[in-house]
Amino acid sequence: MTCFIFTNALIPVKETRTLKMKHQSFYITFIAHLVSTILLLGACSNHPDTSDISSRLAKAEAIFLAKEADEALAILLELENNLDKSVPDTLKYKVLSRIGGIYYADFKKDKADLYFKRAMMIARKCENEYLSGALWNRCLTLSNNDSILILLKECMDVSRQCNLRYTEVMAGVNLANAYAQLGNRNKALELLDTMREVIGDDRMLKYEYSFALQNILIADKQFDKAIELLDNQKVEDLNLFGKLSRFQNYFTIEMERKQFFKAVSYRDSIDKIKNEIDSIEYDKKLLKIESDFLSRLDKERAYRKNTILIALCVIILLVYSLFWRIKRAHMMKRQLELNEQISRLNLRIVQLTETHDEMSPSSMGEGNVNVEIIQKLRLNRELFMSSPIYGQLQQLNLRRDADSIDKALAKEVLDAVIGQFADVCSNLRQLYTELTYDDALYCSAIYVGFTKELASVAIGSSEDALRRRKSRIKQKLPTAVFEALFGTKL
């Protein structure tokens, strides 16, 4: 008997696999480099190095000393926006404390307090010389007496350890002042005596000492001594807060003495100074600087966010594409392997078929040819299941009513089965001569998973006719082959 075989073209699997692996490796490397580049750009964009921060901070200091607080604030706010974990704590402290200092000089205590508080938290990670200034700045904007007492004590002790005389005296004098206001006169005087030994010839420290002593004298109703200290002060040496404190002390003394006419004149001076504080000229400039910076910052954040989202979308698309490329390559590799196995089976079936004519039909029942044909059926089914048309078959199988099955689609799936199993169907008919073409086609359809309803629609026969066909096929095929096609032995 002559056996007609469809020979599958063999492709050098190893060479193809190597080329695809190289392509996939390049693709993965490209995505990895793209991700790292995007992350690097996101991490480095608008983040100056330490030397740049130091130089720009020095520039802001110089501009502030030149009475250009608005320009200095613009530089400092930009630096604050770029502070990250890589920036040393000492630089973070300097930037935040300087911003707080600008707001404090502009009499915006609430905003100054926010920055002084952050600066103090960072200063606690630094050396004591930074902590000393941070504690003092924080005391300037606090309004809670208990917190002020705690911080002033700590500031005085830390400053003494670092030999920072100015901060030690300022903290000590203000602590004495706080004790005086709380009614602890002896503690206040004792502390002032200690500070007097440290003051030396510093004029500003002497003024601070004088104001603290004045408050104690006023509380003790020693008005003449307090007036003497007030008269010795030079008004031109005092800032607005110093002038305000001076006139407030005059006002308090005259009110206690019942000298209301003089008290009213001092009250006018107090109101005048307060109005002057409230009408600082560069107040609006700072607000504009803040507004412009926040507007620009929002735009930068939106731009960065959009850039990251676009980058993520690109990465997702690339990864998705890579996934399907790998999956497709894997399927192609598997198909090539199956084709190679089928080709070897074709040769084996030819060898077995050559001896078929010399053997009696009874000896074919459990022969090697049955094993080979079953193996070939299995390989062809695996190839068919890896094709896209198999998904359509699964969808059609969900419909249990024959009338609801799309006939055109059912025919299309059946044509795909014919294309895949043409070779093996030819082998079945040549080995088992009683099997018709329709029998072999029905076997193939059932073998790949057609339901009885779908098979009826695709083949164009009733379900009863197909049941009878199955019964006839059972008589024509060896038991092993029939069970492989219709039963459980796959």
**Is residue 169 assigned to a domain?**
no
**Is residue 104 assigned to a domain?**
no
Query: Is the pLDDT score of 4 beyond 70?
Result: no
Contact (Cβ atoms closer than 8 angstroms) between residue 373 and residue 427: yes
Q: Of 12-16, 227-231, 282-286, where does the model show the most confidence?
A: 227-231
Length of the chain: 490
**Is residue 180 assigned to a domain?**
no
Alpha-carbon separation of residue 2 from 72, 299, 300, 350, 419 (angstroms): 98, 80, 79, 9, 22
**Is residue 373 assigned to a domain?**
yes
R_g (Cα) of the chain, nearest Å: 47
Of the candidates 133, 488, 146, which has an alpha carbon nearest to the alpha carbon of residue 115? 133
**Is residue 57 assigned to a domain?**
no
Domain range enclosing 421: 355-486
CA 27 to chain CA centroid, Å, is 25
Residue 472 is predicted with a pLDDT of 92
**Is residue 122 assigned to a domain?**
no
- Per the structure, how many domains does the chain have? 1
Residue 121 is predicted with a pLDDT of 92
Mean pLDDT over 302-325 rounds to 74
Tokens 């164009």: give the residue.
460
DSSP string, 169-215: HHHHHHHHHHHHHTT-HHHHHHHHHHHHHHHTT-HHHHHHHHHHHHH
Mapping DSSP to helix (H, G, I), strand (E, B) and coil, where does residue 31 land? helix
**Is residue 153 assigned to a domain?**
no
Give the 3-state DSSP-derived string for 437-467, with helices as H, strands as E and coil as C: HHHHHHHHHHHHCCCHHHHHHHHCCCHHHHH
**Is residue 475 assigned to a domain?**
yes
Give the predicted TM-score (pTM) of the model: 0.48
DSSP string, 101-125: HHHHHTT-HHHHHHHHHHHHHHHTT
DSSP single-letter state for residue 183:
T
Contact (Cβ atoms closer than 8 angstroms) between residue 79 and residue 41: no
Residue 199, amino acid: I
CA 156 to chain CA centroid, Å, is 43
Q: Average model confidence (pLDDT) for the chain?
A: 76
Mean pLDDT over 86-100 rounds to 87
Over the stretch 269-288, which tens digit does the pLDDT of each residue have?
Answer: 888 888 877 765 445 555 55
User: 166 is written with which tokens?
Assistant: 């100015």
Contact (Cβ atoms closer than 8 angstroms) between residue 10 and residue 343: yes
Over the stretch 466-480, which tens digit does the pLDDT of each residue have?
Answer: 999 999 999 998 888
